[in-house]
Amino acid sequence: MGVNIRGRHYLKLLDYTPEEIRYLLDLSKDFKRLKRSGTPHRYLEGKNIVLLFEKTSTRTRCSFEVAGMDLGMGVTYLDPGSSQMGKKESIADTARVLGRLYDGIEYRGFDQELVETLAACAGVPVWNGLTDQFHPTQMLADLLTIEEKLGRLKGVNFTFMGDARNNMGNSLMIACAKMGLNFTACAPRELFPAESLVKEAQAIAAESGCRVTLTEDVKAGTKDADVIYTDIWVSMGEAEEIWETRIRLLKDYQVNRAVMDNAKDTAIFMHCLPSFHDTKTTIGRQIADKFGLEEMEVTDEVFESRQSVVFDEAENRMHTIKAVIYATLC
Ligand code: CP
Ligand code: NVA
C-alpha cells in the first residue's frame, strides 16, 4: 500500500514508520532534482504557513522560508519579540488562532510538550523545528546526506560523540534504529541518553536488524565507524555556567584527526551546525579566553577536511523540509 501522510503532524521520528521515513527521503531527492534543474514546483500556491521560533536559527528558519516560497506559499516568521507568544498568550491559544489563518505551523522551542500541545490544538499540521528533546527535520537531512555519500543506510556504523542526551543525540539514536544503522553513543556516562529512550531505541533496532550501543571508550566507540557525528557541547536554552562542567566532561570526546583515523578510511564527518571549530564567533572567542580551548567539539582540521560533509548536510535541510511540508499539506 502507498504511503500517505497528508494532514499528519511531524513532531518526532518515533511517530513515523521506516516506510514513511523512506517515502520522505525519496520525495526529498525528487525535490532536490527539481531545485537543481531549475524546474518550478509551486505545487502549494494559495496556501500559507507560519514559522514560530522561541530560539534562534539560521538553517531551519531559512530552509522553511525557501521551501515554502519554492512551493508557492506565503510564509510568515514570528519570534517572541514580535508576537504575543508565551508572554501574553499561551501556546494553546496561539495555536487556535494561527490554525484559523494558516495551513501549517512550524515551531521551535523548549519542552517537547509545548509542540505536542500546539499540535493538539492547531487543527492544521504542525512541524517540530527543534525542541530540547528532539530535532526531527534535521534527521531527514542527515539520513539523506549519509545515503548520498555512502550509497546506503542499512548496516552503516554511525557514532555520535558529545552530549548524547540532547535533542541531537536522542533524535539520531531513534533515526538510526528506525532505518537500520548501527548507532553508538560515545560519551561520558553522565551524558548518556535516558534509559527509557535507549530501551525504546533498542527494541526498534532489534526489528530493523541493527544495534544501539553506549560507550565511554573513544577508541572502541569510533573504531571502524562510517559516520562520525558531533554537536555543540552546550545547547540553546542551557545556562552559560554549564560550559565549565561540559568542557570537563567532553574534552576527551572532541572529534580530531586521531578519531577520524580510527574510523574507516571512507568515513565522513557530520555536524548539524552551528559549530565551534575555531575562535571566529563571539562564544568561541569567550571560551578560548576563559578556558584556553580554541576548538571545541571538532577541530578546525577535521571540520575543513575532505571527509567533512557538513555543508551538503546543511543544504539538505531545505530539500527535506520541503518534502515534509509538501507531504503533509498536499
Ligand atoms: N542545525 C540547525 O538546526 O541549525 P539552526 O539552529 O541554524 O536552525
Ligand atoms: N543541540 C543543539 C542543536 C542545534 C541545531 C541545540 O539545541 O542548540
- The end-to-end CA distance of the chain, in Å, is 18
Residue-level pLDDT at 319? 99
Residue nearest to atom 2 of ligand 2 (CA): 235
Is pLDDT at 265 greater than 70 in this prediction?
yes
Is 108 among the catalytic positions?
Answer: yes
DSSP state of 281: S
Ligand that lies nearest to the alpha carbon of residue 171, given by its number in the listed order? 2
Which atom of ligand 1 is found nearest the CA of 135?
A: 3
Cα→Cα distances 155→110, 182, 211, 227, Å: 33, 6, 9, 11
Is pLDDT at 281 greater than 90 in this prediction?
yes
Is 246 among the catalytic positions?
Answer: no
Residue type, 99: G
Is pLDDT at 1 greater than 70 in this prediction?
no
Model confidence pLDDT, tens digit, residues 193-237? 999 999 999 999 999 999 999 999 999 999 999 999 999 999 999
Residue-level pLDDT at 155? 98
Is pLDDT at 140 greater than 90 in this prediction?
yes
- 310-329 and 59-70 helices, crossing angle to 10°: 50
Determine which helix (DSSP H) or strand (DSSP E) holds 92, and give its type and residue range. Answer: helix 91-101
Model confidence pLDDT, tens digit, residues 149-167? 999 999 999 999 999 999 9
Ligand that lies nearest to the alpha carbon of residue 59, given by its number in the listed order? 1
Ligand 2 binding residues, C-beta < 6 A: 130, 166-168, 231-232, 235-236, 272
Residue nearest to atom 1 of ligand 2 (CA): 235
Work out the burial of residue 261: count CB atoms within 10 Å of its CB; fewer than 13 is exposed, 13-18 middle, 19 or more buried.
exposed
Determine which helix (DSSP H) or strand (DSSP E) holds 239, and give its type and residue range. Answer: none
| Among 9, 59, 61, 135, the one annotated catalytic | 135
Q: What is the mean pLDDT of residues 68-91?
A: 92
Measured CA to CA, the distance from residue 192 to residue 219 in angstroms comes to 17
Instruction: Read off the pTM.
Output: 0.98
Model confidence pLDDT, tens digit, residues 36-60? 999 999 999 999 999 999 999 999 9
237 Cβ inside 6 Å of ligand 1 = no
Model confidence pLDDT, tens digit, residues 296-308? 999 999 999 999 9
Q: Pick the range with the lowest mean pLDDT from 86-90, 95-99, 109-113, 193-197.
A: 86-90
Nearest CA among 302, 293, 183, 198 for reference residue 246: 293
Is pLDDT at 86 greater than 90 in this prediction?
no
Is pLDDT at 170 greater than 70 in this prediction?
yes
